[in-house]
Amino acid sequence: MVRLLVDSDSLEVQLSTLERTLARRRESVWIERSRILRVQLTDEPFTWLRGVRAPGTHVPGRLAYGTWKSVFGDDFAAVREGRPGVVIELEGDDEFERVIVTTKHGIGLVKALQQGGVDTGDVSALS
C-alpha cells in the first residue's frame, strides 16, 4: 500500500518497489500542496478511473497502478480492491489532473491537508 507523506509544501505518494513496477514509474509522485484543489474520500476508488492506462497495470476490479490518459488530462492511480480511497484533484500541476489512491489513512490525510486550506469535499464518506 502506498505511503502518503505530507509536509508544509508538498504531498508525496511513496510507492513500494512492487508498486513502482506495476505503475511503470521510477519514483514517487510529488504534489505541491498549492496545486491541490480538492480532496475527496471514496469507498469505490475504481469508479474514479477514466480514460486508458498508459503506462501501468490494470486488473479490472482488483488493482490499478499507473497513468490513465483521457481527454480531461492524465490521472495517476494506485488502487487495490477492498480498500477505501482518496481522490486528489489538482490545478496547474505539470504531470497530473488527479491522483487516486487507496489508503486506510484517508481521514488523516484530509485532516493534514485541511491545515493548508484545501477543500476536502465530503469527509463523511468513510465515517
The three-state secondary structure class of 65 is: strand
Q: Could you read off the pLDDT of 82-104 as tens digits, one per residue?
A: 999 999 999 999 999 999 999 99
Q: Could you read off the pLDDT of 41-53 as tens digits, one per residue?
A: 999 999 999 999 9
Give the count of alpha carbons within 13 A of 122, CB side only: 7
CATH of 3-126, one of 2.60.40, 3.40.50, 2.30.29, 2.40.10: 2.30.29
The C-alpha cell that represents 64 in the structure block:
490499478
The dihedral over CA atoms of 14, 16, 22, 24, expressed in degrees to the nearest 10, equals 60
The C-alpha cell that represents 122 in the structure block:
465530503
- Quote the pTM value: 0.88
The CA distance from 34 to 91, in Å, is 9
